[in-house]
Amino acid sequence: MSEYRTHKCNALRAEHVGQTVKLSGWINRKRDHGGVLFIDLRDTFGITQCVIDEGSPLMDTVEEWRPESVIMVEGEVRERPGETKNNKLPTGEIEVYISKAVLLSAADVLPFQVAEDDGAGEDIRLRHRYLDLRRQKMQKNIRLRNDVIASMRKRMWEQSFQEFQTPLLTASSPEGARDYLVPSRLHPGKFYALPQAPQQFKQLLMMSGFDRYFQIAPCFRDEDGRADRLAEFYQLDMEMSFVGQDDIFEVMTPVIKGIFEEFADFTGTKRKIEWLPHLRYEDAMMKYGTDKPDLRNPLEIVDVSSVFAREDVEFKAFKGVIENGGVVRAIKAPQVSDQPRSFFDKLNSWAQGEGAPGLGYILFADGEGKGPIAKFVPEAAQAELKKLADLDEGDAVFFVCNKEAEAASLAGKARTRICADLDLLEKDVYKFCWIVDFPMYEINERGDLDFSHNPFSMPQGGMDALENKDPLDVYAYLYDCVCNGFELCSGAIRNHHPEIMQKAFEIAGYSKADLEKEFGGMLNAMRYGAPPHGGCAFGVDRIVMLLADEPNLREVYAFVMNGQYEDHMMNAPSDIKPEQLKDLHIKLNLPKKLDDEKAA
């Protein structure tokens, strides 16, 4: 028998009445009812109500113990009187009458309440994360994370995947974000990089003949914090040999669908799972204004440039943009003729807050088009508009006019905003889709040609496409999986021919020497026989966040930094001692403001 307990705090039932038991845990709550002290004793498994009877010599001592103190109690199990039984609690039929109590660890005054949500802010919650994690919701979320990862492993093992661990100290690689760098003491002036993804290593495993790899892989990206992004995150990373794009989908769709089916009722509401047909990248950008659309939203964007390019349409603000290569996108707002004028004004103000001149519209009511733009669009053009946007009497249509990329972005945001304002989002469903046919290249923020996604992807059409097409017209075997507006996965069929890889990087501005220096290990492996292969990586954290119905990744991690990537609990990042910098042959060159603060 354990020194501290005979039972866990979820274990006692009516059949234990009369037994003397020993329990250990935290004081969740204390209640004094007319000289009788009730203690809800909590451990990680559950709660048991314990009682100190009136007149007990323990009363004065135990009354001084604060909530969250760790105690051990011993006593007799008794049945609760009928009206005091708690059917919501597994141990609600019994209580333990304490004959002995030991304070194992006293708690100070709490910075916030653990037994209930007192509205404590994120900063104080993260500073005292060990207390925050004791809360019922956090305990439930972190256990969900464990269960989801266990389910992932089981499902991958069942499909003959083998689990590998790849290095955390590696070389820098162009994965689309900044690397976290680690200085080398033994090689002064040189740095390791923490992996943004185990991309090259998993491809090398395929070239080593292992055929099916997976890993619950830690990844690190030095980019700005967001609710759905962290500096350190985990992904279900996989790779397969002798496969095409459809083979990846056939393997991974049932894995992810099965996980969501397994945990679909985690929040207490059973949610449906729908896997929709593949969507080309260009179609996603046209219809939804984003490559990670929320398909619970029934609204679709349509191109109405042809309407405003007509000779009989005199709206110069749009005409001028169209003549300079711009487009007009339209978003239908169904049955809004009974909406007050403020509905339209608020959307216009919202668009201005997004940096646009406004959000023009036409409302079709009483057999005619109304609104600030309607007078510039004659009846014949309105008829064409109604056909293109599938408009009925009582519908409105909102317009975005700009260059194609900018118009897609704002139209996508407007689609989301209109859906929210009209409460059109479908409830209690997960809607999945594979987004396919991404462009191989794009123009980056500096105006240079660059890879749009994964640089190791196979171009559609192979060498012929790279040599004979405009790079911006080359598609790649690149794909994402999206769910409810979140990108859950990115993947690709890989380039396994060294000459095609060399050409692909040459187009993106890499010399042969650059390629050999940065990716020589993988290039050499390809030269000794590389199988066709491909894979993807699903974000573990985003999957758990969706299943837990949480708005922020920090609600599904045990230990995590704040939005500025600071850990105030562990005081990270922290200053380094001069002798440590000396060992690493590093001198600090701080911005003047920080340097002045340190000097002060």
Whether the CA torsion 241, 247, 251, 256 is positive or negative: it is: positive
The string of pLDDT tens digits covering residues 553-580 is: 999 999 999 888 899 999 999 999 999 9
Kindly tell me if the per-residue pLDDT of 342 is higher than 80: yes
Please state the rounded mean pLDDT for residues 516-528.
89
pLDDT band at 592 (very low <50, low <70, confident <90, very high): confident
Specify the pLDDT at position 227: 62
pLDDT band at 454 (very low <50, low <70, confident <90, very high): confident
User: Rounded to whole angstroms, how far apart are CA atoms 377 and 395?
Assistant: 16
Kindly tell me if the per-residue pLDDT of 20 is higher than 80: yes
Question: What contacts 52, CB < 8 A, 6 or more positions away?
Answer: 36, 37, 39, 58, 59, 62, 97, 98, 101
Kindly tell me if the per-residue pLDDT of 599 is higher than 70: no
Specify the pLDDT at position 175: 59
Specify the pLDDT at position 224: 77
- pTM value? 0.91
Please state the rounded mean pLDDT for residues 569-592.
90
Question: What contacts 238, CB < 8 A, 6 or more positions away?
Answer: 156, 161, 202, 212, 213, 214, 215, 251, 252, 535, 536, 537
pLDDT band at 314 (very low <50, low <70, confident <90, very high): confident
Tell me if 173 sits within 8 A of 180, measured CB to CB.
no
Kindly tell me if the per-residue pLDDT of 497 is higher than 80: yes
DSSP-based three-state secondary structure for 351: helix
Residue 23 has which token pair? 């329990």
Average pLDDT, the chain: 93
Specify the pLDDT at position 34: 82
Specify the pLDDT at position 1: 60
Specify the pLDDT at position 595: 60
Kindly tell me if the per-residue pLDDT of 378 is higher than 70: yes
Higher pLDDT, 55 or 418: 418
Kindly tell me if the per-residue pLDDT of 283 is higher than 60: yes
The string of pLDDT tens digits covering residues 119-172 is: 899 999 999 999 999 999 999 999 999 999 999 999 999 999 999 999 999 988
Specify the pLDDT at position 521: 87
pLDDT band at 286 (very low <50, low <70, confident <90, very high): very high
Specify the pLDDT at position 597: 61
The string of pLDDT tens digits covering residues 541-554 is: 999 999 999 999 99
The string of pLDDT tens digits covering residues 255-282 is: 999 999 999 999 999 999 999 999 999 9
Tell how far CA 565 is from the center of its chain: 16
Three-state SS annotation for 411-471 = HHHHHHHHHHHCCCCCCCEEEEEEEECCECEEECCCCCEEECCCCCECECCHHHHHHHCCH
Domains of the chain: 14-105 (2.40.50.140), 139-279+433-555 (3.30.930.10), 297-425 (3.30.1360.30)
Specify the pLDDT at position 467: 96
Specify the pLDDT at position 2: 84
The string of pLDDT tens digits covering residues 351-365 is: 999 999 989 999 999
The string of pLDDT tens digits covering residues 184-213 is: 999 999 999 999 999 999 999 999 999 999
User: Rounded to whole angstroms, how far apart are CA atoms 165 and 202?
Assistant: 10
pLDDT band at 174 (very low <50, low <70, confident <90, very high): low
Higher pLDDT, 2 or 7: 7
- According to DSSP, the β-strands at 396-402 and 36-43 are unpaired
